[in-house]
Amino acid sequence: MLDVAWTTWRSPIGLLTVVEREGMPLAIDLPGRAGATNWRERILARSPDATIRIGACPTTATWLEAFFDGDPTPAPWPESAADLAQSPAHLTIWRAIHAIPFGEMRSYQALAAEAGMHPRQVGQLVGANPLLLLIPCHRVIGKHGALVGYAGGLGPKQWLLDHELRATGLTLRIG
């Protein structure tokens, strides 16, 4: 039987819903959006006998603490992404996002060109990411550097990008 724990984790960008099983992250999401990513339904569809309970998620919490402390060490690829993806296209884009280094950004258009997809399709696939921060979709921006689209809103996205720039010692000057 699959034992799944979930908790609410306080972060600088607000409360996060964190879901983990046996040290493997299954979801990092904003509470208001957790229903939209259907993490509970996806788990039960693959493992109908799963037990989902409120509990500690120590592996994911440790990684989140390091991230918010400014540690640029990327998290390992979450093998659970294969269980959460609705299509191979999701995995393609999520892997491309996971490869974006801490403190760097890529445009939807650049990801689309790499994957041979339309930028709007990439936007939909990015928006379905159930592992915020671990698969760092906040690093995906509009063409010409425009700050667009983020499940938590543009304020948290800007905070995350600024946080990464501060942690790497980079400064962004416009004009």
pLDDT digits (tens, 9 = 90+) for 108-156: 999 999 999 999 999 999 988 889 999 999 999 998 888 988 878 888 9
Phi and psi at residue 167, to the nearest 5° = -65, -30
Rounded Cα distance, 172 and 152, in Å: 22
Instruction: Report CA-CA distances (Å) from 103 to 45, 138, 152, 154, 157.
Output: 36, 11, 19, 17, 13
Residue among 45, 48, 58, 49 nearest 6 (CA): 58
The stretches of 85-130 forming alpha helices (DSSP H) are 88-98, 108-115, 119-127
Q: What is the mean pLDDT of the chain?
A: 88
Tokens standing for residue 108: 């939807």
Do residues 149 and 107 touch, judged by C-beta distance below 8 A? Answer: no
How many other β-carbons are positioned within 10 Å of the β-carbon of residue 86? 11
Rounded Cα distance, 131 and 28, in Å: 5
Strand partners, 21: 24
Residue among 73, 52, 93, 67 nearest 26 (CA): 52
- Looking at the chain, how many residues does it have? 175
How many other β-carbons are positioned within 10 Å of the β-carbon of residue 68? 15
- Average the pLDDT over 19-32 and give the result: 87
Catalytic position from the list 28, 126, 137, 140: 137
For the question of residue 57 being annotated catalytic, the response is: no
pLDDT digits (tens, 9 = 90+) for 79-106: 888 878 889 999 999 999 999 999 999 9
Rounded Cα distance, 103 and 72, in Å: 8
What band does 175 get if pLDDT is binned at 50, 70 and 90?
Answer: very low
